[in-house]
Structure 1
Amino acid sequence: MEYVSNCVDDTEALGEALARVLTPGSVVAFSGDLGAGKTAFTRGLARGLGIAERVTSPTFTIVNEYEGGRLPLFHFDMYRLGSEEELFDIGWEDYLARGGVCAVEWSENVERALEAGCIRVDIRRGAGEDQRLLTITGAPALTEKEGRA
């Protein structure tokens, strides 16, 4: 499904709406340019899961863990990983087994390690500076009200 976000709040609202339909073990694989809105979408996921903690990019830590919501959220940044093997070295399978939601930025860097059933979120810049075009596949359609699309 395709959505248009005209501001950061819209992008976060789409993440929040998606979080409502996620189940334990869900993997959300992001693709998009630097600064496209992957972390903003993940902030919305956290809010939708009931996590009050501040969500930041895990660029230098590889993964940030957030607890306290309906499901835990494991926010990965694969930008610096060179291969799928490095993903397994950081305990990917352990995170999957913990029954939370894995949000994976720069998923294209570990594509072969991701299962076919994961939810894909592609975020691209739109016409205006703040506009984003989001394509979400592998998830139920989000209503206009839910996603403010």
Structure 2
Amino acid sequence: MQLNVTSLSGLPDAARQIITYAGENKIFVFYGDMGAGKTTLIKELAAALGVTEAVTSPTFSIVNEYVIPAGKAYHFDFYRLKKQSEALDMGYEEYFYSGNYCFIEWPEKIPDLLPEHYTRIAITALNDNHRQLEVENI
């Protein structure tokens, strides 16, 4: 599925479409350059799931946890990892296989640890406000 988002006001609709498209998948991996809008999109996905608290990038904590009506949502930012074993040390399996939503930024840092099934989102910045989203269930 391809979505074109031309302004921030289009993100809530895009988030709802992505969640619907993902179906049973609760693991979402995000690819895109620094500043492409990964965290901004994750904020909208979390809001669509019912998160009412502020969603922020877990750059230094690696993972943030949010409460949703159906359980929890976890937001990971693996940018700072030097090697995959650091994700092992933090117990990533408990999160990824919990049955809760997981939003993973910089999954290229943990390529061998990704679950078998997930929704892949590639974000391309076409200009300051326009983003192209390629969404695929794996």
- When normalised by structure 2's length, the TM-score is 0.89
Which residue of structure 2 lines up, in the alignment, with residue 9 of structure 1?
9
Q: Does the aligned pair in 1 maintain the 2:78–2:107 contact within 8 Å?
A: yes
Q: Which residue of 1 aligns with 2:136?
A: 137
Specify which structure has the higher proportion of strand: 2
1:82 and 1:138 map into 2 onto residues whose CA distance is: 28
CA offsets, 1:39-96, max 9 Å, x none? 1111111111111111011111100000133231100001011222111111111112
The AA in structure 2 aligned to 1:101 is Y
The unaligned stretches of length 5 or more in structure 2 are: none
Q: Indicate if the aligned counterparts of 1:124 and 1:133 stay in contact, CA closer than 8 A.
A: yes
* Structure 1 residue ranges without an equivalent (≥5): 140-149
Distance 2:15 2:57 in 1: 15
Counterpart residue identity of residue 128, structure 2? E
Alignment match, 1:147: none
| Aligned counterparts of 1:130 and 1:88: Cα–Cα separation in 2 | 36
Aligned to 2:36: 36
Q: TM-score, normalized by length of structure 1?
A: 0.83
How far does the alpha carbon of each residue in 1:5-26 deviate from its partner, in whole angstroms, 9 at most, with x for none? 1122323432233235554x72
Cα shift readout 1:91-131 (whole Å, capped 9, x = no counterpart)? 111112432111000111111111231110000111x3110
| AA at the equivalent of 2:78 | M
Q: Which residue is equivalent to 1:145?
A: none
Backbone CA RMSD of aligned residues: 1.8
Following the alignment from structure 2 to structure 1, what is the Cα–Cα distance between the partners of residues 11 and 107?
Answer: 19
Greater Cα shift, 50-59 or 2-11: 2-11
User: Identity over aligned residues, as a percent?
Assistant: 34
Which residue pairs with 1:115 in the alignment?
115
Q: Give the equivalent residue in structure 2 for 1:47.
A: 47
Paired position in structure 1 for 2:85: 85
What is the alpha-carbon distance in structure 1 between the residues aligned to residue 92 and residue 33 of structure 2?
Answer: 23
Rounded Cα–Cα distance in structure 1 between residues aligned with 2:92 and 2:86: 9
Q: 1:75 touches 1:102 (CA, 8 Å); kept in 2?
A: yes
How many residues are treated as equivalent by the alignment?
137
